[in-house]
């Protein structure tokens, strides 16, 4: 490289369109240099022929000729830049799948650090340097690397989408505002972005609130399931108790029925045994008389036969068994009476059980506080029993005097009547001193 070229900076040999070292450099009438291909494409995309740097308008497209001197100098700078890029590529990260590559790198693509919304290109650390040093490029808007930057261009006018049409709710370019959206409400993208961002924040807050409500609903449903399970377990226990009671009643009634029938059978057997024993006694006496008659009939003693004959001629006194018989006992109505009695018993038991179940619906958990010295309170404060040893409690004119009763630290208002007797009435007065009206708890 010559001494003259060493006085020039690399920025002077960069195309402001592609941001790379000039290729086939051409100078336009305003004096700025561009790659021949870059400036031709730029003018082909726009309605007016305008300098990308100074914005000077040429109403007739200038004829372009390659500046050989600048081309040679640019070639030398290109070679220097490639050597510099190759030496620094090992220090920079190579673009991986899913990462945005540098659009300027040739060969191995390095990871892009920024994307330019004006140039619609992404640059690595080396190729980003002109945007950080050149005054004309410093005004370009740089963002974090993005792919498909072409989507940010207006498909109709090939201009950057930098405005938002509120009327049609779409992004537009500058030409759109003077053509298709001339009378529409158009604002800068940033303004609409801030508004939409605020709406998103509000929407997110509403969504978070909805999520919280649904989480609370889930907890509510879980609690309902737990309560349902407890209710189910309680119902099962109550059902088992009811059917166990019914089973015991049925078994007891069945046993009583069997005992009744067996007792009748035993009475019948006892009666028959009495008759049989009496008949066997008479048979024994008759057999003895028959033996005596047979012996007398064989006697040759005339005097003896005549003397004994009157006493043996007639049969011994016996019972008239003509109308005597053992009749099986009648069991008619026994089962029916047993079933009727069982139904009556079961009806009473079921009424008692269901009244107790109905009363349990109004049960409340209270912490008891004995007001009598001979009452023993459980550790959890929910059960109380009478004891033999009296505790030394301070005297209080508001205490119960004659009946063993307790106070509750909580209050409730309910009235449950079972068989004409109240199970709870009014407020249970607190154990601590209070100015509230006190109601007595009726003794059950």
Query: How many domains are there within the chain?
Result: 3
Residue 308 sits in the same domain as residue 370? no
CA atoms within 13 A on the CB side of 160: 12
Residue 338 sits in the same domain as residue 401? no
Mutual angle of helices 334-360 and 189-297, in 10-degree steps: 150
Residue 17 domain-assigned (yes or no)? yes
Residue 340 sits in the same domain as residue 395? no
Residues with Cβ within 8 Å of 196's Cβ and at least 6 positions away in sequence, in order, are: none
Residue 351 sits in the same domain as residue 252? yes
- pLDDT digit string (tens) for 338-382? 888 888 887 887 787 777 766 666 666 666 666 666 777 777 766
Give the residue from 59, 89, 119 where a domain finishes.
89
Query: Quick one: pLDDT at residue 209?
Result: 94
Strand-pairing partners, residue 142, are 116
Give the C-alpha separation, 249 to 402, whole Å: 40
Query: Quick one: pLDDT at residue 190?
Result: 87
Residue 186 domain-assigned (yes or no)? no
Q: In this structure, are residues 264 and 331 in contact, taking their beta carbons and an 8 Å threshold? A: yes
Kindly report the three-state secondary structure assignment for every residue of the chain. CCHHHHCCCHHHHECCCCCCECCCEEECCCCCEEEHHHHHHHHHHCCCEECCCCCCEECCCCCCCECHHHHHHHHHHHHHHHHHHHHHHCCCCECCCCCCECCCCCCCCEECCEEECCCCEEECHHHHHHHHHCHHHHCCCEECCCCCHHHHECCCCCCECCEEECCCCEEECHHHHHCCCCCCCEEEHHHHHHHHHHHHHHHHHHHHHHHHHHHHHHHHHHHHHHHHHHHHHHHHHHHHHHHHHHHHHHHHHHHHHHHHHHHHHHHHHHHHHHHHHHHHHHHHHHHHHHHHHHHHHCCCCHHHHHHHHHHHCCCCCCCCCCCCCCCCCCCCCHHHHHHHHHHHHHHHHHHHHHHHHHHHCCCCCCCEEECCCCEEECCCCCCEEECCCCCCCCCCCCCCCCCCCEEECCCCCCCEEECCEEEECCCECCCCCCCCCCECCCCC
Give the mean model confidence (pLDDT) for residues 112-131.
84
- pLDDT digit string (tens) for 75-107? 777 777 666 655 554 456 777 787 888 888 877
Range of the domain at 261: 222-317+327-356
Give the C-alpha separation, 383 to 367, whole Å: 9
Question: Would you place residue 430 in the very low, low, confident or very high pLDDT band (cuts 50, 70, 90)?
Answer: very low
Residue 38 has pLDDT above 50, yes or no: yes
Residue 393 sits in the same domain as residue 370? yes
- Name the more confident of 434 and 25: 25
Residue 212 domain-assigned (yes or no)? no
Give the C-alpha separation, 370 to 314, whole Å: 94
Give the CATH number for residue 60.
Answer: 3.30.40.10
Lookup result for tokens 């003896």: 304
Lowest mean pLDDT among 37-46, 87-96, 140-149: 87-96
- Name the more confident of 442 and 320: 320
Cα 201 to chain centroid, rounded:
28
Residue 148 domain-assigned (yes or no)? no
Question: Would you place residue 390 in the very low, low, confident or very high pLDDT band (cuts 50, 70, 90)?
Answer: low
Query: Quick one: pLDDT at residue 118?
Result: 77
Residue 229 sits in the same domain as residue 336? yes
Nearest to 160 by CA among 19, 45, 18: 45
Residue 342 sits in the same domain as residue 313? yes
Residue 294 has pLDDT above 80, yes or no: yes
pLDDT above 90 covers a percentage of the chain that reads 13
Residue 157 has pLDDT above 90, yes or no: no
Residue 341 sits in the same domain as residue 235? yes
Residue 349 sits in the same domain as residue 240? yes
Give the C-alpha separation, 375 to 384, whole Å: 7
Give the C-alpha separation, 231 to 144, whole Å: 60
Mutual angle of helices 68-89 and 125-133, in 10-degree steps: 130
Residue 431 domain-assigned (yes or no)? yes
Give the residue from 57, 89, 121 where a domain finishes.
89
Give the residue from 71, 89, 107 where a domain finishes.
89
Residue 287 has pLDDT above 50, yes or no: yes
Residue 114 domain-assigned (yes or no)? no
Residue 267 sits in the same domain as residue 284? yes
Query: Quick one: pLDDT at residue 8?
Result: 57
| Structure-block tokens of residue 182 | 């001339």
Residue 403 sits in the same domain as residue 342? no
Residue 205 has pLDDT above 90, yes or no: yes
Residue 209 domain-assigned (yes or no)? no
How many other CB atoms sit within 10 Å of the CB of residue 164? 21
Question: Would you place residue 276 in the very low, low, confident or very high pLDDT band (cuts 50, 70, 90)?
Answer: very high
Question: Would you place residue 225 in the very low, low, confident or very high pLDDT band (cuts 50, 70, 90)?
Answer: very high
Residues with Cβ within 8 Å of 365's Cβ and at least 6 positions away in sequence, in order, are: 382, 410
Measured between alpha carbons, how far is residue 132 from residues 13, 128, 182 in Å? 16, 7, 36
- Name the more confident of 121 and 315: 121
Winning range, highest mean pLDDT, from 28-42, 142-156, 184-198, 216-230: 216-230
Query: Quick one: pLDDT at residue 244?
Result: 86
Residue 257 domain-assigned (yes or no)? yes
Residues with Cβ within 8 Å of 374's Cβ and at least 6 positions away in sequence, in order, are: 386, 387, 388, 389, 390, 391, 404
Residue 231 sits in the same domain as residue 350? yes
Average pLDDT of the chain?
Answer: 78
């Amino acid at each position: 490289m010559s001494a003259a070229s060493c006085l020039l900076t690399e920025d002077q040999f960069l195309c402001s369109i592609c941001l790379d070292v000039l290729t086939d450099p051409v100078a336009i009438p305003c004096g700025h240099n561009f790659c021949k291909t870059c400036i031709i494409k730029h003018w082909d995309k726009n309605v007016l022929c305008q300098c990308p740097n100074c914005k000077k308008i040429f109403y007739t497209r200038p004829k372009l000729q390659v500046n050989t001197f600048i081309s040679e100098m640019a070639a030398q700078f290109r070679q220097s830049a490639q050597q510099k890029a190759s030496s620094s590529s090992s220090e920079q990260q190579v673009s991986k799948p899913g990462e945005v590559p540098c659009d300027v790198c040739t060969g191995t693509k390095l990871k892009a650090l920024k994307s330019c919304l004006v140039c619609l290109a992404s640059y690595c650390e080396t190729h980003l340097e002109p945007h950080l040093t050149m005054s004309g490029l410093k005004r370009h808007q740089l963002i974090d690397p993005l792919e498909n930057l072409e989507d940010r261009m207006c498909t109709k006018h090939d201009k950057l989408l930098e405005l938002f049409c509120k009327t049609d709710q779409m992004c537009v370019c500058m030409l759109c505002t003077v053509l298709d959206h001339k009378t529409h409400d158009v604002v800068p993208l940033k303004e609409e972005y801030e508004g939409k961002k605020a709406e998103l924040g509000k929407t997110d807050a509403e969504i978070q609130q909805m999520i919280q409500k649904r989480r609370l609903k889930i907890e509510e449903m879980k609690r309902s399931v737990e309560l349902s399970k407890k209710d189910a377990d309680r119902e099962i226990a109550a059902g088992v108790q009811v059917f166990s009671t019914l089973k015991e009643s049925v078994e007891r009634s069945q046993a009583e029925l069997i005992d009744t029938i067996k007792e009748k059978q035993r009475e019948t057997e006892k009666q028959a045994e009495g008759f049989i024993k009496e008949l066997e006694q008479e048979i024994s006496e008759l057999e003895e008389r028959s033996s005596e008659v047979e012996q007398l009939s064989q006697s040759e003693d005339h005097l003896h036969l005549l003397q004994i004959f009157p006493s043996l001629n007639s049969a011994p006194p016996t019972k008239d068994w003509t109308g005597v018989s053992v009749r099986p006992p009648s069991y008619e109505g026994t089962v029916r009476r047993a079933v009727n009695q069982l139904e009556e018993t079961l009806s009473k038991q079921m009424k008692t059980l269901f009244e107790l179940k109905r009363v349990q619906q109004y049960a409340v958990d209270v912490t008891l506080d004995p007001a009598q010295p001979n009452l023993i309170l459980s550790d959890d404060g929910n059960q109380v029993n009478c004891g033999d040893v009296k505790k030394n409690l301070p005297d209080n004119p508001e205490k119960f005097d004659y009946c063993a009763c307790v106070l509750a630290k909580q209050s409730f208002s309910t009235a449950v009547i079972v068989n004409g007797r109240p199970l709870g009435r009014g407020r249970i007065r607190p154990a601590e001193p209070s100015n509230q009206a006190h109601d007595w708890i009726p003794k059950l």
